[in-house]
Chain A
Amino acid sequence: KAGVTQTPRYLIKTRGQQVTLSCSPISGHRSVSWYQQTPGQGLQFLFEYFSETQRNKGNFPGRFSGRQFSNSRSEMNVSTLELGDSALYLCASSPGWGHEQYFGPGTRLTVT
């Protein structure tokens, strides 16, 4: 089976712009979660989606949003980018409740 794929792998944006990141889960997986990884804050949970419904949301401002499509693919959007949004954004998928997550390689976002 193909693993979790994330596109793009690298992205450079300017402050104030918005960005959309994409995640394709492992075939058959219906749960997708997003995490932000920074040197200062470490790994922090952003959202969890299951069957197109947001099940959990982390402690991030409203500029961070996401969605999941009927084929389980997920996108996250960050509007009005700030320098502090520079991070590695990781997506993880799992079959569902009680199953461990499988992570993608991440999207490295740099905000200048």
Chain B
Amino acid sequence: GNSVTQMEGPVTLSEEAFLTINCTYTATGYPSLFWYVQYPGEGLQLLLKATKADDKGSNKGFEATYRKETTSFHLEKGSVQVSDSAVYFCALPINAGGTSYGKLTFGQGTILTVHP
């Protein structure tokens, strides 16, 4: 099945700094790709998605571009805020073909802490 590798280790930034969280995937075909965010004590929220190569997903100032050449879907934000402190997960469908979004595989998650 498909799999995803996400940069490990917490990320600590000052407010207004630039954020990059790396995500690379291994997949059959070109499945949709997702970034989810988990705030403390809560479930996961869909942050953004891209459904085909070269698509750019964006939401709340976050962006990620589906790059099939490098099999990557890195998350970026130009100026982070304290309220962005959370855990971020890269995900894609487990099955080859990748249209069943009900069975996702997730990266290990990246803890982001933003200081004032």
Contact = CB atoms under 8 A, between A and B. Distances in A.
Interface of A: 4, 31, 33, 35, 42-43, 45, 48, 50, 55-56, 58, 90, 92, 94, 97-106
Interface residues of B, number: 23
Given A42-B107, A97-B101, 19 more contacts: A4-B43, A33-B104, A43-B89, A43-B106, A45-B94, A45-B104, A48-B100, A48-B102, A48-B103, A55-B100, A55-B103, A56-B95, A58-B103, A92-B44, A100-B49, A101-B46, A101-B104, A103-B43, A103-B44
B21 to A, nearest CB: 15
Residue among B34, B44, B95 with the highest chain A CB neighbour number at 10 A: B44
Interface of B: 34, 36, 41-46, 49, 89, 94-95, 99-109
Nearest to A93: B102
Contact of A102 (B42, B46, B104, B107): B46
B101 A94 contact: yes
A101 B45 CA distance: 9
Given A4-B43, A102-B46, A106-B43, A97 B109 contact: no
B93 to A, nearest CB: 10
A87 to B, nearest CB: 13
Residue among B43, B99, B103 with the highest chain A CB neighbour number at 10 A: B43
Nearest to A55: B102
Contact of A98 (B45, B101, B103, B104): B101
A91 to B, nearest CB: 8
